[in-house]
Amino acid sequence: MGAYDTEIDGLAATARAALVREIDADGAWAGDPVWREAFAAVPRHLFVPYYYVAGQRGQERRWGQSIDPEARRRWVRGAYADAPLATRLRDGELLSSSSQPSLMAQMLAALEVEEGHRVLEVGAGTGYNAALLAHRLGDDLVTTIDLEPEITESARQHLSAAGYHPVVVTGDGARGVPERAPFDRIIATCALPTVPRAWIGQCRPGARILTPLATGLLALTVRDAAHAEGRFLDTPAYFVPLRGEARAEPEGVSLAGLPDRAREQDLFRFLAALVRGTLDPREAYALWEREGEPGRGRYGVTVAGERAWAWLDDPEGPYLWPLR
């Protein structure tokens, strides 16, 4: 196994350096280059000992312990591709994945962490994102949570193998982790239908919450234990839905009867998902055209006590839509 380990380590180091150069060229962490060091140091292949890719006969598993040397090489090269990797399937349904590294880099830079910040990650997945956070901040300041014991146990093992030991919690991420609060930053790597009030209550004033919502990334600033507000980033984002009490519904919205252009426009589909249940797709499309086809960055969300609403341009209106 010694020669095998040496070859895999060499391939991994080369592939990891290439991935860092690729993300660097895209400018994902231009605002915070310290993340470059984290991506260069944390070995992603240790967090994906196997993963699934689409093949001619359905989902093909790539495995780091395959008896075929070329299969092992494909596995390690794929582990450093700038692509999401499906890591857990159940009856054909995707339960967990390792997100696209360049998107992870954008999200971590947008989180705007500083030394000494306490961070909660909702959606432990493979543990890779928690390792990047722990590399930057230290183990004691990072908490990650997932609902499935299998996921948290494997994440804990992956983290340990890579030399990181943040706190890994099994539980409903929508409820946060009150025993580890207060947090300065919360980052979610799973899609939700709204912003859980528990998160806001577990944050310090001035904290930042970054969460996927309606195929976008929402960045909220917390004012106090009951109030938060912020806008979406311009970046599109598609994540596995949260499982638990506040689980997200499928993001698909029927656009039957609308012009072909509506079905092809990612920015319109974002709006249709955001206002689903409040505006029908025809009303949403008319608004989108009338307002000059706004991008994600013109939308925002306000949470005030038990109320939460999405808005276009101004949290006071005229375009307001309650979040479920």
- Tell me 313's DSSP state: S
Cβ 80 vs Cβ 16: under 8 Å: yes
CA distance readout (Å), 210 to 190, 231, 237, 260, 301:
11, 10, 12, 32, 12
Q: Please name the residues in contact with 213: beta carbons below 8 A apart, sequence gap of 6 or more.
A: 191, 192, 193, 194, 195, 232, 274, 301
The catalytic residue positions are 96
Exposed (0-12), middle (13-18) or buried (19+): which is 295, by Cβ within 10 Å?
A: middle
Which 8-state DSSP code applies to residue 307? E
Beta strand 299-304 pairing with 307-312: antiparallel
Q: Residue 69: helix, strand or coil by DSSP?
A: helix
